[in-house]
Structure 1
């Protein structure tokens, strides 16, 4: 029996989605752009899914665009903002996901990297300085819930400052959805990105939220799908699975967060009992209890990951999209941890299928591994 502690990379398919997929009648979907009965049935299914998601997010269905992934959603939101609002400046955090940082780096516009605190929070004083430097249209990019540390950024304060300076705000909410009620934060931003497989849906579906009924921006050509905004036949089954998974996650949000708090408290107390040399970033800030990065100074993360994998436990060394990169976590480096710390960190991320016995097994396993690796207790 294996233990999966890598839910921030992707989540298991929720039971409600499995039930939907097991019914073969639900899999008989056709091209939603076709005018025949079968095609229009598929079109109606997408519309119903969009309406359901919009109701959960307390937004307008017309402000929701389906994509193929969270990465595409981030790229689309940034590209749309630049095109529609003639953006000349971008302010972003060094702890953003590569799906946000990489598109920004490749844009030929003014870029300002805002400082963060040692806990990973945006430095609001430096943020105001960055805003004052920008004289023309500005886009601010701030992830709501960090995918490596679980830190939750003060979006309300960021949004207020953006409004005062006439800046637009984009928030990567891919890790936040399914963990917190993002409908509260949707109202504070101009653009947001999401991914189905982070809430128990299936891979291959992402989503972009945009605040206003802005003019049509097209990123992929070759069709008039998604209100003329994105060419390509829609992933009907994936979109429906997204709506089902999101509805299930909202229904269970309180109970699942209660469980995450129990698991997190057991993890932290257990690690503290093993050694006071173990470092747990951001534990003194507002963070979500389902995601934690843990640093074991002097021990290579890859050795711990392999050792735990052999014990039947799946963890990661940070963002799955960056797992092949050399040099350790860019998030920890931005928080002023040194390269050794960045190379000695692993990420644990809990899901609805985890329990306290699994956390205890992890604690016992990591303690045995550390002893074998001559960890300096």
Structure 2
């Protein structure tokens, strides 16, 4: 039996999206070419931009296609950092590595404030208010955490920042499939998304840049993307991104119910099997596609290996640590290193079943019983 519960790391390419890509492969022209083939490719490409903009309640000229959300996050942060002289920037201690590590590299040239989170993984609005100053130029917030599914209080964050001159950057990579995204309601200046978290191929991302907002391009060598990202446009992957955004938006309510059932079933079955565990954070302030579980009787590394041997593919946290099993910085920020070293992330897709959840609980019971029998607990 093989059960993949690592959808927060990446998703399989959807068959309908793949078919649409293959059907559209004939539009191969370079959109920058002035002949008919190029113009057809340009029109095809701009259709993808327009449709994504519509779903985000944005203007088409505010959408930039990138090679990944990591690239998009880097572009936003490095653009702001380079535009000002030692700017003050605010972020959180639970950001994705593409944000967290980028800020760490910029600490010599920027004044970076890292907001704490509580045991539910949420920031304090009062701490954000206290951190904001006239020198604050950028605030980066992950809308839905990639390791716990924790939803940040975005409405309160937007309200807190409405009188600030600081720009708001929202990492919505894990958010779009789970929550409706409206850039006007979020009152954000930048927003980033990734295709491979939405059943599109790896290698395509979206960066929303509010009109009249400065953005220094990170990749040079051409005037593509309105001079915000050089390089021949990836027309086919942009099309896949468009299809993925439409699919996620149209099926969000339906998928949410499936994911909710899967999450509840796994937790209920773990209780039935009498496997000691605790959920990291509060399930009431989390999305349904992720549950991060603390197993006090083992380590993440051992459990991942044992589950892999049983055909269960989960993770200890983010997949951005080059295949290593490191204590999650997110769980460390919420609790401590010991808890981080014994926590597992299960993330779900609507292709999974309740029987899959029962199988996972049964195998964890077998692992727990085996360790107990041999005196390792």
Instruction: Specify the TM-score bucket, using the shorter chain as the normaliser.
Output: over 0.9
**1:1-377 to 2 correspondence within 5 Å?**
1-23=1-23, 26-83=25-82, 88-107=87-106, 108-131=109-132, 134-183=133-182, 187-215=186-214, 217-275=216-274, 277-322=276-321, 324-325=323-324, 327-336=326-335, 338-374=336-372
Greater shift after overlay, 319-328 or 144-153? 319-328
CA pair 274-27 structure 1, distance change in 2 beyond 3 A: farther
Structure 1 Cα separation of the partners of residues 79 and 46 of structure 2: 23
Gaps of 5+ in 1: none
Distance 1:18 1:339, change over 3 A: same
Q: What's the TM-score once normalised by structure 2's chain length?
A: 0.93
Distance 2:276 2:130 in 1: 37
Unaligned 5+ residue runs, structure 2? none
Q: Following TM superposition, by how much is the alpha carbon of 1:266 offset from its aligned partner in structure 2, in angstroms?
A: 0.8
**Tell me, what secondary structure is at the counterpart of 2:226?**
helix
Structure 2 vs 1, CA of residues 84 and 41 (structure 1 numbering), >3 Å: closer, same or farther?
farther
Q: How big is each residue's C-alpha offset from its partner over 1:72-116, in whole Å with a ceiling of 9 and x where there is no partner?
A: 011112123334576711111100111001111122111111121
**Matched-pair contact (CA < 8 Å) for 2:275–2:368:** no
Number of aligned residue pairs: give it. 373
CA gap 1:138/1:341 in 2 versus in 1, 3 angstroms: same
Structure 2 Cα separation of the partners of residues 365 and 185 of structure 1: 46
Q: 1:41 to 1:288 in 2, by over 3 A?
A: same
Query: 1:124-157: per-residue Cα shift (whole Å, max 9, x none)?
Result: 22222211xx331421111000000000000111
For 2:81 and 2:301, how far apart are their aligned partners in 1? 39
Change (3 A) 1:276 1:126: farther
How far did 1:323 drift? 5.2
Q: Deviations over 1:21-76 (max 9, x none)?
A: 343x5354122211222121111111000001011111101101011011001111
